[in-house]
A and B are shown apart, each in its own frame.
Chain A
Amino acid sequence: MDLTFPVKPFKTHGGADVPHHKNTAQMKSAILPPPKQVVLPMQQHVGAPCQPAVKPGDMVLIGQKIADSSAYVSAPIYASISGKVRPMKKVMLAGGQVLDAVVIDSDGKMEVSPDVKPPVISNLDDFIKAVHDSGLVGLGGAGFPTHVKLKVPEGKTIDTLIINAAECEPYITADNRGAIEDSQDVFAGIREVLKMLKIEKAIIAVEDNKPDVIKVMSELAEKESGELKGHIHVLALRSKYPQGAEKVLIQSCTGRCVPMGKLPADVGCIVMNVTSAAFLGSYLRTGMPLVKKRVTIDGSAIKNPQNVIVPLGTPIKDIIDFCGGYKEPPKKILMGGPMMGIAIASDELPIVKQNNGIICLGENEAHRLEPTECIRCGRCVSGCPMNLMPTFLEKFAMMKRVDGLKKLSVMDCMECGTCAFNCPAGRPLVQAIRLGKSLVKAEGKK
């Protein structure tokens, strides 16, 4: 058994020195008072949408299942408040998809369902089922159902569990606060995954701009006794965006390069977000499925920036009101951070499982550079963590040259935004690359 850990991170390509703006990192998370109503879209994950398991008029309790799917790649959804189910409603999510949603009017009691009890686990199948039943999806933003990720394909051996606490997006501190406030649960989650999946070691990867997280995690890792003594290690990463991107993170932590079109499991790794690990720990202890989320509310338009723990389905507006409202009219509202977050058209949207922050930018911060001609400075190329050539991809996309796009591996772009962030000419590179990807996909369908 190899229990050596890297002393410092391995080298990765490119990246950007983004501003950190971790204004809320030292503030204790607040708990939102029960909202009057929650809206729970039937798809809060990558995979098949759920079918509602309740009808209008039903009374539901916290933790009661309200929607599920028989598909394997999916995750059930639970009531996040107690109250009465209203007629179904269509909602448009940040990405533009229109979905059915279960609406619950609060009865103000926040009563917990009697079904909520710790799962009994005696083997791996029980564990995977429990993870499925918890409703857990990748909480870092990807939203991939965790039970699918933890089901290691036959013939693959995993030797390293990487806990992603890099949190490289500016402003967002939800993982940072979670790692500190729920540190015991983080470790409980890690222990369970290591034991159940028979993984040798876990690396908790944290960007070095969060010394408090490194300290708390290192202390717990050192205190670890029993059979996992010495199996959990904290690695301080360089604070360089996009350090938390899965492939970049694996390379930083292990020096391994995930081959194009392959998965982390192909290089012996599973990557789990630190908040997902903490949730798993708490679920195994309490049996309370995923019904609430810690979100960072920040940006120049917010009066009192802070982390707030909110029931899923809470309208964004309610949380912003709780944070003192807007101090200036917001020009842009982002679901997620400013590098990869989605700009939304209304603050009425509900919080879903993958959300970790709402960033409201005022007039000055939302200001955009008027694009000028590319001067071929090469900052997009030298900064690309995937070693692509964004300026060429942009040109091919605008010319609809599918052959060129394919040759330059457009589909491998993860849209981290480093190129467009760095571009002195303000070119909309990521936007053009998204267009390029859809051109390639459309060609594939022909």
Chain B
Amino acid sequence: MGEKLVVSSSPHIKSGVTTRKIMLDVIIALVPAGIASIIIFGLRALLIIAVTVASCVLSEYVSRRVMKRKQTIGDLSAVVTGLLLAYNLPVTINPLIAAFGGVIAIVVVKQMFGGIGQNFVNPALTARIILMNSFSAPMSNWAKPFYYLNSSDAITTASPLGMLKQGATVSQLPSYMNMFVGDCAGCLGETCALALILGGVYLVARKVISPVIPLCYLGTAALLSAVMGRNVLMDLLSGGIMLGSIFMATDYTTSPITVKGKVIFAIGCGVITMLIRNFGSLPEGVSYSIVVMNLLVPLIESATHPVAFGKETAKDEAKR
């Protein structure tokens, strides 16, 4: 035995799941919605996706370089952020604004706080909020689905939630079926509920996410929608609630680790979303609701620590 042996702490084997593989699964899960966006809004959707992904990856690379930290673009998390940011933008957006959003998400929200696992709010959503406040007109310039097929028509329209806010009746809105497959105005990745649910089912099947957050989020929103006398199906199918509940509220870093915490977090998201939709001046509240709940995660977590094995029974015995 010439060579020296490695001595390290147990366990000596690994499951094989790595951060990179998890991120790859999220990217795969986001592909159907991406394809849907290209079909619905044309090749310009692909351009916006390419711009935000490139901007995020480049921002991550440069900020790690500048801060002299280990390079992390290989973990693919910047690609996920880029995809999610693109899905949260209208297809008509100026690519420069989209690229700026990527810089905000990665440099300001993620890397300045230490990089992957350290940011306390969702990078893509925070970037979207900053863009909405900085460029409110281009950020709510909704393209008509399939506008690229007939160039003579007006190409912009209102989003279903915007129409509702302005007092439209349900009959004036797109049909449920149209909204389910994404044939309605909105951010480029949020309209096709079908594609998003498909991605969600994939993530649950691959055990990347637990269904707790999406189900509690959507369930709470549906319940409140009914209580408020709104159209429940319309509330679930319109706006960013599918994208938000499946892909953004389930972000590991900015959601609670504990199961109970996840339930509280998701219910909170649902409540705030519906409060904004019903009482706020904004038509949509998914972004704000998730970011506000992100901020509460440390508190929720410390209140929901699991009870260690045998701790409860030990207490019971002591009482007796």
B-chain residues with CB within 8 Å of residue A346 when the two chains form the complex: 5
The verdict on B229 contacting chain A, using a C-beta distance below 8 Å, is no
Chain A contact-residue range equals: 35 or more
Kindly state whether residue B177 has any CB partner on chain A within 8 Å: no
Main secondary structure of the interface of A (DSSP, over half): loop
Q: Which residue of A lies closest to B1 (CB)?
A: A347
- Taking the nearest CB of chain A, how far is it from the CB of B21, in angstroms? 7
Residues of A within 8 A of B309 (CB): 13, 247, 257, 260, 385-388, 412
Give per-residue flags for B255-274: 1 if the beta carbon is below 8 A from chain A beta carbons, else 0: 00111000000000000000
CB 8 Å contact bits of A1-40 with B (1 = contact, 0 = none): 0000000000001001111000000000000000000000
Whether A430 lies near B6 (C-beta < 8 A) is no
With both chains docked as a complex, state the minimum distance between the C-beta of A415 and any C-beta of chain B, in angstroms: 7
Please, which residues of chain B bring their CB within 8 A of the CB of A343? 5-10, 12
* B177 CB to nearest A CB, Å: 36
- B117:A376 contact, CB within 8 angstroms: yes
Residues of A within 8 A of B118 (CB): 373
B18 neighbours in A (Cβ, 8 Å): 369, 424-426
Contacts of A382 in B (CB 8 A): 210, 259
Given contacts A259-B317, A372-B72, whether A340 and B10 have CB atoms under 8 Å apart is yes
User: Across the interface, which residues of B come within 8 angstroms of A425, CB to CB?
Assistant: 18-19, 117
Please determine whether A389 and B253 come into contact, CB atoms closer than 8 angstroms.
Answer: no
Write the nearest CB–CB distance from A268 to chain B, whole angstroms: 13
CB-CB under 8 A from A16, the residues of chain B are 15
Q: Mark A417-428, 1 if CB is under 8 A from B, else 0.
A: 100111111101
Whether the pair B310, A247 counts as a contact (CB closer than 8 A) is: yes
Whether the Cβ atoms of B314 and A422 lie closer than 8 Å is no
Give Cα distance in the complex from A386 to B12, angstroms.
20
Q: How far is the CA of A365 from the CA of B14 in the complex (A)?
A: 10
Q: B311 contacts the other chain (Cβ, under 8 Å)?
A: yes
A425 to B72, CA, bound (A): 12
Cα–Cα, bound, A385→B307 (Å): 12
Contact among B1, B22, B253 with A330 in the assembled complex (CB-CB below 8 Å): B1
**Interface core residue of B10, B14, B117 (most chain A CB under 10 Å):** B10
Cα-based distance from A345 to B1 in the complex (angstroms): 11
A26 to chain B, nearest CB (A): 22
Q: In the complex where A343-B12, A361-B12, A424-B18 touch, is A262 in contact with B310 (Cβ < 8 A)? A: yes
Contact indicator B9/A431 (Cβ below 8 Å):
yes
Cross-chain contact of B19 among A372, A388, A421 (Cβ < 8 A):
A372
Give every chain B residue within 8 A of A381 (Cβ-Cβ).
257-258, 306
Interface of chain B: mostly helix, strand, loop or mixed: loop
Q: Bound complex: CA of A150 vs CA of B257, how far in Å?
A: 41
8 Å CB contact of B12 from A366, A373, A387, A391: A366
Residue-wise, chain A 328-368 has the 8 Å CB interface mask toward B (1 for contact) of 01111110001111111111000000000000010001101
Interface of chain B residues 1 through 47 with chain A (CB within 8 A): 1-15, 17-19, 21-22
Once the chains are docked, how many angstroms separate the CA of A417 from the CA of B258? 19
A442 proximal to B (CB < 8 A): no
Output the least CB separation between A60 and chain B (Å). 31
Distance, CA A23 to CA B140, complexed state (A): 62
CA distance A170 to B311 in the complex (A): 30
Could you tell me if B308 and A386 are in contact, using CB atoms closer than 8 angstroms? yes
**With an 8 A cutoff between CB atoms, is A409 at the interface?**
yes
Q: Is the CB of B313 within 8 A of A338?
A: no
Residue numbers in A under 8 Å from B259 (CB-CB): 382
Report B-chain residues with C-beta under 8 Å of the C-beta of A247: 309-310
Q: Does B135 contact A (CB under 8 A)?
A: no
User: Considering the chains assembled together, what is the distance between the CA atoms of A422 and B16 in angstroms?
Assistant: 8
CB neighbours (8 Å) of A17 from chain B are 15
Q: Do B10 and A329 touch across chains, with their CB atoms under 8 A apart?
A: no
Nearest-neighbour CB distance to chain A for B278, whole angstroms, equals 32
Residue A375 interfacial (CB < 8 Å) = yes
B116 within 8 A of A: yes
CB distance from B251 to the nearest CB of A (A): 9
CA distance A424 to B259 in the complex (A): 19
Q: Which residues of B contact A391 (CB under 8 A)?
A: 257
12 A-B interface contacts by CB (under 8 A): A330-B1, A331-B6, A338-B13, A339-B10, A339-B11, A339-B12, A341-B12, A366-B12, A376-B252, A389-B258, A423-B14, A431-B8
- Not counting A262-B310, A331-B6, A343-B7, a sample of 13 additional A-B residue pairs whose C-beta atoms are within 8 angstroms of each other reads A330-B1, A330-B5, A343-B12, A361-B12, A366-B12, A375-B253, A378-B257, A379-B17, A387-B309, A389-B258, A417-B10, A421-B11, A421-B15
Chain A residues at the B interface, C-beta cutoff of 8 Å: 13, 16-19, 170, 247, 257-262, 329-334, 338-347, 361, 365-366, 368-369, 372-379, 381-382, 385-389, 391, 408-409, 412, 415, 417, 420-426, 428, 430-431, 434
